[in-house]
Every structure is written in structure tokens, then in C-alpha cells.
């Protein structure tokens, strides 16, 4: 793992001479132009402290529902309390820190993201967004600014695809999109999602209580997980839309057998069918992407063979396919084509297709134009460059956009690397993105609510 020479201490004291001219400019700006400087050193220290709560053997890993995840939550709760936030876990398992506003009728502004990671993931995916919200809450408190709206900083539960096969568990719960069927999905140890939810403080039997109608604006800061900002030397990305994501589980059942004693013509090898389908997924996705109608990608990210022994013909093979597009109709067509293709490869390999089920299905979602306008104005006031950008990654904001005006601010990450230990974002970029959201929250709070029209799925 490539470690950087950077240490939070050297950053905390202000622009270090080692920083390139542009970075120093950003740093100076986020400390002066709003007169509400975001303390980048403190923000960075939070991110690094949370990064230390990881599976040491596979940095950086803090899987949702795990003990490490709960350790991270405990640390976050302590930091929320230090910032003067009243904390609770809602029935969807979200950690919520809240400061009341001056006008009880004004509703709530939320800033949130997620603290769970993929296996051997990075230090910034999700965590930067939660830390940014926490820093904004601290700055407001230190400056004795009481917003009209209540302010909530949220760590959404299990944004990454969990061991139960479902992602965005907390934001689905808050937006009414966590289904009874999904709550019955289980992990490899046989624990059901509803049981895991209870373990982290949620309550599936009272899930409806997590639903919200009081949110007037939802913001999420996130690393881009791409190279547009870094490539263009652009300070922040203002997200236009978040792709729809469909995840499909397929299971092939053949016959386990002796790898040495079973002639080729008498085999029912489930992994042969799965292997053929993996390549078909790639070919189909390239066909859809090649249409030029919109963004389309598909990945077979999970491939399991049982019993997974070198001298046993695989009797069972399980795949999970992740397909994404900004066009709903393309995801629907892709699923239909995959249904047919998977039956075809099963027949050709003389195995059964034992399961073909949609694990999750998130609609493409547009970010709120009113909030995007405020974000643009804030970036301009801070003298930061910005660009409109679509998100190929899924985010909790996609579910929040179903129940409130939602908007995202992207910051650059080195070489677009993410979901790996090499994931990196510069402290100045995180600080700048945080300052844009701070400025926007203040403007929104002063400017009154935007009228909310649910983001129509594409």
C-alpha cells in the first residue's frame, strides 16, 4: 500500500510551503472568504482517526454490522456529542446527530454519508462526507450560529453492499424503500438482515418510524471515484444525477463430482455456466454502452463456487451482477436479456438455473436544481472552480432524493482510485468541498425553503 508522506499535523498549522500554489489559494480561501473557516486540520484528523478503526490485516475494512463498524460508530457518537449534537439511532439503523433550529416549523437540513467500507476499501469513501458534516456542525456552534432549520449530521447504515446482499440499508429505510423481502435476506452465517438491524440499534418492526417528511435539504460530500476533477484540475463537482443500480443474484446448480474420475461428457459443472455468463455480462454491457444513449456499466462482482475444492467439479455457482445506468429502460432491458442468457448458458452446460432474483433496484435520481444553484453560487463566492458531473457510483443521496431536495458535492480523488487502500483525497480538497456545503447551508437557511418536487426518475 502506497503511504503518503503527508501528516495531519503539518497541515493543521496552515498552508505549508510544500503545497502547490493552487492548493495554498484554496486553503487561504476556505479560512477567510466565508469568515467561517472550516478547520481542515481537525477535519483531516477525524478522517484519519476513523481510518485507524479497521481490520489491520486488510486496511481499510470496516464492514457494516461488524464489531469494527460498531467501534467506529461509538467513536463517531463521541465526536457528535463533543460537537454538541444530540444523537440517536433511528429504526433504520442510521446514526443521527441533531442540533435544533430557531424555527420549529422550518424543518431539517441534513448532511450525511456513510462510515462503512467495502472489504480492503479506502479511507475517504463515505467517511469524508460524515466528517464534513461533523465539521460544519462544529463551526456553526463555535461561531454561535443557530440556523432557522434543525441540522442533522447522519451516518447512514450500510451504504456499501452488505453481507446480506443489500446496500444503502439506512437510506432505503428512511425513504421507505427497504422491503420486507430484503429484511429476510441472510448472510453466510444465516443471520437475517432484520436481526442484524436490531443488533446495531434499529428495529424492523418499527421501520416506518424512520420515514421522514421534515427534510428540506439533503447534502452529501463524496470523493468522485473517477478522474474528471483531478484530470481537469477542478475543485468541486456538482452532481447532476446518480445512476440507477440493479443487482441480480443468479445461482446455477449442477452436480458435484470427482475431478479425476468423471469423464468430460458426463459432467454438470455449474462453474462452466457461470464463467460463460460472466463474459456475456461484459459483452451485453459493452453493447448497451455502445448505443451512445447514456451511461451503462455492468460487473460480475461476486462469483462463488461450491464446494470450491480443486479436485471437485463445482456443483453450485453463485453470481451477483451489478448493472448501472442513468436510463431506467436500459436497466429493465438488460435484466430481460440477462434472464434469457442465463437460461441459455445453463442449458448448454447441462445444469439448472436454480435462482434469478433481483437483490436491489435503485432508480436513477436527479439532484435538486435549486440546491445545485446554491452550491454553484457558494463555490463561486469561494473562488473555487466547479463542473456539473453525473455519478456512476451509487450514494445514499439517491434515496434521499426520493423524499427531499438532495444534492452532492464531489471532490477529487487521486487517479480516481476508490474501493482500495490507495484511495486518496487531498486535505485541501476535502476542506474546500466542506466549505462549499457550509456556505450553501447558510444560504439555504437564510433564503427559505425550495419548493420540493420529487426527483422524477429518468
- Contacting residues toward ligand HGY, per CB under 6 A: 159-160, 167, 393-394
Q: How far is the CB of 396 from Mn ion (least distance, A)?
A: 8
Q: Which does 330 bind (CB under 5 to 8 A by kind): Mn ion, ligand HGY, none?
A: none
Q: How far is the CB of 416 from ligand HGY (least distance, A)?
A: 13
Q: Which does 237 bind (CB under 5 to 8 A by kind): Mn ion, ligand HGY, none?
A: none
Q: Which does 40 bind (CB under 5 to 8 A by kind): ligand HGY, Mn ion, none?
A: none
Answer for the pair 175, 400: CB distance below 8 angstroms, yes or no. Answer: yes
Q: How far is the CB of 165 from ligand HGY (least distance, A)?
A: 13
CB closer to ligand HGY out of 54 and 316: 54
- Chain positions contacting Mn ion, by CB under 5 A: 125-126
Cβ neighbours of residue 300 closer than 8 Å, sequence gap 6 or more: 277, 278, 281, 319, 320, 321, 322
Answer for the pair 249, 311: CB distance below 8 angstroms, yes or no. Answer: no
CB closer to ligand HGY out of 155 and 160: 160
Please give the Cα distance from 139 to 153 (Å, whole number): 13
Q: How far is the CB of 391 from ligand HGY (least distance, A)?
A: 8
CB closer to Mn ion out of 330 and 423: 423
Residue 218: CA atoms inside 13 Å, Cβ hemisphere, count?
Answer: 30
Q: How far is the CB of 122 from Mn ion (least distance, A)?
A: 8
Answer for the pair 398, 365: CB distance below 8 angstroms, yes or no. Answer: yes
In this structure, what DSSP letter does residue 2 have?
-
Q: Which does 426 bind (CB under 5 to 8 A by kind): Mn ion, ligand HGY, none?
A: none
- Judged by DSSP in three states, 320 sits in strand
Residue 442 — φ and ψ, nearest 5°? Answer: -65, -45
Q: How far is the CB of 303 from ligand HGY (least distance, A)?
A: 17
Q: Give residue number: closest CB to ligand HGY.
A: 393
CB closer to ligand HGY out of 399 and 444: 399
CB closer to ligand HGY out of 124 and 444: 124
- The full DSSP string for 323-336 is EEES-HHHHHHHHH
Q: Which does 429 bind (CB under 5 to 8 A by kind): ligand HGY, Mn ion, none?
A: none
Cβ neighbours of residue 308 closer than 8 Å, sequence gap 6 or more: 314
Q: How far is the CB of 243 from ligand HGY (least distance, A)?
A: 8
Task: State the DSSP H helix or E strand holding residue 51, giving kind and residue range, or none if neither.
Answer: helix 40-51
In this structure, what DSSP letter does residue 264 have?
G
Residue 409, preceding bond cis, omega within 30 degrees?
no
Q: Which does 97 bind (CB under 5 to 8 A by kind): Mn ion, ligand HGY, none?
A: none
Q: Which three cell numbers stand for residue 257?
A: 463430482
Q: Which does 394 bind (CB under 5 to 8 A by kind): ligand HGY, Mn ion, none?
A: ligand HGY
Amino acid at each position: 500500500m502506497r503511504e503518503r508522506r503527508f501528516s495531519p499535523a503539518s497541515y493543521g498549522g496552515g498552508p505549508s510551503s510544500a503545497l502547490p500554489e493552487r492548493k495554498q489559494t484554496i486553503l487561504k480561501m476556505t479560512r477567510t472568504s466565508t469568515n467561517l473557516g472550516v478547520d481542515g486540520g481537525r477535519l483531516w484528523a477525524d478522517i484519519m482517526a476513523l481510518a485507524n478503526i479497521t481490520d489491520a490485516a486488510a486496511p481499510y475494512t470496516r464492514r457494516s454490522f461488524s464489531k469494527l463498524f460498531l467501534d467506529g460508530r461509538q467513536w463517531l457518537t463521541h465526536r457528535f456529542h463533543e460537537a454538541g449534537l444530540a444523537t440517536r439511532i433511528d429504526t433504520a439503523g442510521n446514526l443521527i446527530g441533531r442540533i435544533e433550529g430557531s424555527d420549529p416549523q422550518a424543518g431539517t437540513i441534513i448532511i450525511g454519508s456513510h462510515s462503512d467500507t467495502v472489504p480492503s476499501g479506502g479511507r475517504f469513501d463515505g467517511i469524508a462526507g460524515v466528517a464534513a458534516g461533523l465539521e460544519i456542525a462544529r463551526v456553526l456552534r463555535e461561531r454561535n450560529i443557530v440556523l432557522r432549520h434543525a441540522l442533522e449530521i447522519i451516518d447512514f447504515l450500510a451504504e456499501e453492499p452488505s453481507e446480506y446482499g443489500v446496500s444503502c440499508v439506512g437510506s432505503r429505510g428512511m425513504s421507505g424503500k427497504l422491503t420486507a423481502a430484503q429484511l429476510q435476506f441472510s448472510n453466510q452465517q444465516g443471520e437475517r438482515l432484520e436481526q442484524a438491524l436490531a443488533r446495531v440499534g434499529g428495529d424492523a418492526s418499527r421501520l416506518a418510524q424512520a420515514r421522514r417528511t421534515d427534510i428540506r435539504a439533503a447534502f452529501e460530500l463524496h470523493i468522485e471515484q473517477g478522474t474528471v476533477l483531478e484530470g481537469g484540475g477542478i475543485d468541486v463537482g456538482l452532481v447532476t444525477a446518480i445512476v440507477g443500480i440493479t443487482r441480480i443474484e443468479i445461482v446455477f446448480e449442477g452436480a458435484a463430482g470427482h475431478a479425476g474420475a468423471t469423464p468430460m461428457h458426463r459432467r454438470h459443472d455449474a462453474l462452466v455456466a457461470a464463467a460463460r455468463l460472466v463474459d456475456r455480462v461484459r459483452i451485453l454491457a459493452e453493447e448497451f454502452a455502445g448505443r451512445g444513449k447514456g451511461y451503462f456499466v455492468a460487473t460480475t462482482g461476486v462469483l462463488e463456487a461450491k464446494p470450491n475444492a480443486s479436485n471437485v467439479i463445482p456443483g453450485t455457482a453463485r453470481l451477483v451482477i451489478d448493472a448501472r445506468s442513468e436510463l431506467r429502460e436500459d436497466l429493465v432491458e438488460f435484466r430481460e436479456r440477462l434472464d434469457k442468457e442465463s437460461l441459455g448458458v445453463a442449458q448448454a452446460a447441462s445444469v439448472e438455473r436454480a435462482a434469478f432474483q433481483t437483490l436491489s433496484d435503485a432508480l436513477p435520481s436527479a439532484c435538486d436544481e435549486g440546491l445545485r444553484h446554491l452550491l454553484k453560487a457558494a463555490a463561486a463566492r469561494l473562488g473555487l472552480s466547479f463542473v456539473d458531473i453525473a455519478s456512476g457510483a451509487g450514494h445514499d443521496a439517491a434515496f434521499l432524493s426520493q423524499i427531499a431536495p438532495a444534492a452532492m458535492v464531489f471532490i477529487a480523488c487521486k487517479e480516481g482510485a476508490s474501493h482500495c487502500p490507495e484511495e486518496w483525497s487531498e486535505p485541501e480538497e476535502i476542506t474546500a468541498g466542506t466549505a462549499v456545503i457550509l456556505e450553501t447551508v447558510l444560504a439555504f437557511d437564510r433564503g427559505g425553503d425550495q419548493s420540493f418536487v420529487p426527483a422524477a426518475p429518468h
